[in-house]
A and B are shown apart, each in its own frame.
Chain A
């Protein structure tokens, strides 16, 4: 447990709402608009936090518990990532499994909360969310397996640390494919175009937005923050694969991470303005392509 690690977690938790704003700003600029300010989500969260809430009579405690679980699992997952470039706050062999399954725990409760409302819209969103997750998880794990093979370590600190920096020169193409695959998984997990459209208002075209339709007030604030946090965490994973920062002092490593996250958010904005959302039965195809890229990376690592 190091101070730099804890400080890194705190900083990432703080700047997480900045990333969706950056993506939206980039997209707005590219489409000729001025767009909302980059820190808009902070204002939204504060505004929602001050409001009261309206609950449906159909819902149970699951509906009110889910936002807490989402944020909690996000925060706990952040403890495993080596955000300062050196070590995660908590690290043990095999913690990459814990990382992925913590995010899945958050997802499970959000899906249950959506089904709790007894409405067909939320049920639709929940059904699509688990479908997307069923294709995104194998892709994520294939990418992690490729990293395990490249570095020979079994913890997130190990696979994203100094051994990765050593592995890059020899295994550059494979690791590049893994990074691209992780970026595609990021688009899926963060509910971004082309998997889901965060700006649409049509229930029939949403996935994440429609799951949180009935939440209001502080619960909605927690849910929005939770999904921004998930975006930040998977984004941090992408940045760590592309730019291993183990050789840098912790403060510089942290600065590189923040910069990298902002660049990733910008790229997401570019992707969102260039592509349209995929038809829903094409999403498995998209995520299978991500799995294929990661699988190719694994194959290259296995034969090397």
Chain B
């Protein structure tokens, strides 16, 4: 663990140096980049050691604070998530250096870098904490630091509002988590995870309350429907590298929490597995549907995070059901799929957000209907973004296909489990999610990068500096690597999946044997695709070299006066699908004599949360007369409370009796 803490210390040092050296921009940039990169590389070593099968001893800090000892350790689940935290954290931090550099004059850039390194450190702490106290403290730090990172552009009203909604969402979740640990602690001696795990058989109803509170608390952080309402605003308003970190890593902490609960408590009750499965399906379908309706590129990507959390929950749900119904291979594959998709989503979602940041930096606008034709002006960004798009839709030969395949295998495997056969109905749901994601990213790629520029802002776009392209291509390379050689990620994921279920080597080896030949097949398929595509392209060039080629305007059936504004916009591309799903899509149409606008509304935020909030506010307003500033009345309140307390004690003592 020393290497880990050394790494974290280096990351923190990097942040401090960014703040201290803020007068000399290039020196600060180098110091920050080197220290953060080095720190992440150091801290990831124990994680890799554990994933390769080793064991890292825990670190125990005994202190006379309430809540018991603070324990930090790395087990397979922590290791896997640590890899996610550190790789995406490093990529985002490095990207952020040149992304924020132009704004150094009028925005607190150095403070943002410091906050970023603090955030990476607290994320790493959340994942390695093995006692409730350090876990909750690191959780709160992570949440609050994220708020400050989000409201970087605090001069915009909608950024402040998004930050506020985020803060409300995350604190409601934390409340649920505190309640969870408080309830649990009464059965355990101290608050370390080992003690809590040992106490879990004593929790009534097979841990029902713990699991329910877990879904609420961790669900808020993960962003499952209907607890996702803070997500689009926050991820849309934050700077792009912060959005990448949040979508890639921070929301995964919710998933980490749920998996940790399963490890500590054991097999969840059947209703919980079905609940998580259904929530996953609903989040997946609604997330991608709402993404289709968005005009803003970053909000669209944020809704896609909701969709992918849905896919992860599908894996989690079937894993839980497999555990409950004693189907070890299904359980291992389900959890492995969830964990693997967490990694893959972190990789390609942060890639997409960094790409969106590049587009924003180059053109100054996030509205897809104002962009277009950027593929010629920003070819490298387009290549990286295309790789991210193919990955997120889950198409071979990239990593999205691999993790979705593992989840499919777990769901299809439920056909062998008599009690969970109905879970196979999630398979067409996952197919629907995939098809809608294809529609959405065809829309994004086509509207933003292809075609002709729809506005002067898009025409002005140029390629972004290499320091921003670097992290993007690193992530794209990781996506491709996992896609072509899935074994490097699936085997550790299966190890983690087995450890989540508390299953030993037997089920792990059985699951590995079940998917081993298929992974080879997928790898072969990916290699064939890449190689043959290249060969096909080369052959095509060979054939066409001898044919006459000409360049002209787009034919479009001979219409000669097409302007760029006549192209299909992103909104019109998505219109037929949204029309088909009209009740669920939440699109408000505004039609005047000369104009037509569509406004995407978040159904949960606008129809549920905000009216509820309004009602609460009015109710609170009616309670205002209690506070009228007169000292005498306040003293009366104190007296009244004391009397009530005495009465309660008297009744209770009487009730106990001899």
Q: Which residues does A use to contact B, with CB under 8 Å?
A: 49-60, 62, 64-65, 68-69, 71-73, 76, 90-95, 97-98, 100-102, 104-105, 107-108, 111-112, 114-124, 126-128, 130-131, 133-142, 144-145, 148-149, 152, 154, 203, 213-214, 217-218, 280-281, 284, 291, 295, 298, 302
Could you name 8 residue pairs across A and B whose Cβ atoms are closer than 8 Å? A60-B450, A62-B450, A94-B515, A104-B434, A130-B443, A134-B438, A142-B428, A145-B427
- A-contact bits for B450-472, CB 8 A (1 contact / 0 none): 11100000000000000000000
Q: In this complex, what residue of B is CB-closest to A287? A: B580
Is B520 close to A, CB under 8 A? yes
Is B575 part of the contact surface with A, judged by Cβ < 8 Å?
Answer: yes
Q: Does B579 contact A (CB under 8 A)?
A: yes
Q: Shortest beta-carbon distance, B5 to chain A, in Å? A: 42
Beyond the given A60-B450, A127-B575, please list 9 additional residue pairs across the A-B interface where CB-CB is below 8 A: A53-B550, A56-B552, A94-B518, A97-B408, A98-B405, A101-B401, A111-B446, A122-B568, A152-B415
A93: which B residues are within 8 A, CB to CB?
Answer: 409, 514-515, 517-518
Contact call A111/B442, Cβ cutoff below 8 A: yes
**A117–B450 Cα gap in the complex (Å)?**
8
A108 near B395 with CB under 8 A, answer yes
Whole-angstrom distance between the alpha carbons of A114 and B447 in the complex? 11
Q: How far is the CA of A112 from the CA of B549 in the complex (A)?
A: 22
Chain B residues, CB < 8 A from A76: 525, 528-529, 532
B393 interfacial contact with A, CB 8 Å? yes
B635 at the interface (CB under 8 A from A): no
Q: Which residues of B contact A298 (CB under 8 A)?
A: 424-425
Q: How far is the CA of A120 from the CA of B569 in the complex (A)?
A: 9
| Bound Cα distance from A130 to B533, whole angstroms | 23
Once A64-B540, A93-B517, A218-B547 are accepted as A-B contacts, the answer to whether A101 and B396 lie under 8 Å apart by CB is yes
Q: Enumerate chain B residues within 8 angstroms of A214, measured Cβ to Cβ.
A: 554-556
Quick check: which of B46-54, B188-196, B368-376, B592-600 contacts chain A, the rest being far away? B368-376
> For residue A216, which residue of chain B has the nearest CB?
B555
Min C-beta distance of A51 to chain B, whole Å: 7
Question: Contact between B428 and A145 (Cβ–Cβ < 8 Å)?
Answer: yes
Across the interface, name the chain A residue whose C-beta is closest to B389.
A108
Contact of A101 among B434, B533, B550, B557 (CB under 8 A): B434
In the complex where A98-B525, A138-B428, A291-B428 touch, is A131 in contact with B576 (Cβ < 8 A)?
Answer: yes
CB-CB under 8 A for A117 and B556, given A93-B517, A126-B573, A298-B425: yes
Residues of B participating in the A interface, judged by any CB pair closer than 8 Å: 372-373, 375-376, 390, 393-396, 401, 404-405, 408-409, 412-413, 415-416, 421-422, 424-425, 427-432, 434-436, 438-439, 441-443, 445-447, 450-452, 514-515, 517-518, 520-522, 524-525, 528-529, 532-533, 536-537, 540, 543-544, 547-557, 562, 564, 566-568, 572-577, 579-580
B393 pairs with A123, CB closer than 8 A: no
Residues of chain A contacted by B552 (CB below 8 angstroms)? 54-57
Q: How far is the CA of A280 from the CA of B522 in the complex (A)?
A: 37
CB–CB B438/A126 < 8 A: no
Contacts of B431 in A (CB 8 A): 100, 137-138, 140-141
The one of A123, A141, A203 that contacts B572, using a Cβ cutoff of 8 Å: A123
Distance A131 CA – B425 CA, assembled complex (angstroms): 22
State whether A60 touches B372 (Cβ < 8 A): no
Q: Determine which of A52, A58, A94, A218 lies in contact with B540 in the assembled complex, contact meaning CB atoms within 8 Å.
A: A218
A54 proximity list for chain B (CB < 8 A): 549-552, 555
Tell whether, in the assembled complex, residue B572 and residue A118 are in contact, meaning their CB atoms are under 8 Å apart. Answer: no
B553 touches A112 (CB 8 A): no
CB of A90 within 8 A of CB of B567, answer no
Question: Which residue of B409, B525, B554 is within 8 Å of A56 (Cβ)?
Answer: B554
Could you say which residues of chain A place their CB within 8 Å of the CB of B549? 52-55
**Which B residues are in CB contact (< 8 Å) with A69?**
533
* Chain A, Cβ-Cβ closest to B525: A98
Using Cβ atoms and an 8 Å threshold, which residues of chain B touch A118?
372-373, 450-452, 554, 562, 564, 567
Determine how close the nearest CB of chain A comes to the CB of B642; give it in whole angstroms: 63
Given known contacts A105-B395, A134-B432, A138-B432, is B553 in contact with A56 (CB within 8 Å)? yes
Q: B396 near A105 (CB under 8 angstroms)?
A: yes
CB < 8 Å neighbour of A121 from B372, B405, B429, B557: B557
Select one of A91, A138, A148 contacting B412, CB under 8 A.
A148
- Flag if A51 contacts B568 (CB, 8 Å): no
Rounded to whole angstroms, the CA-CA distance of A278 and B555 in the bound complex is 28
Residues of B contacting A284 in the complex (Cβ-Cβ under 8 angstroms):
580
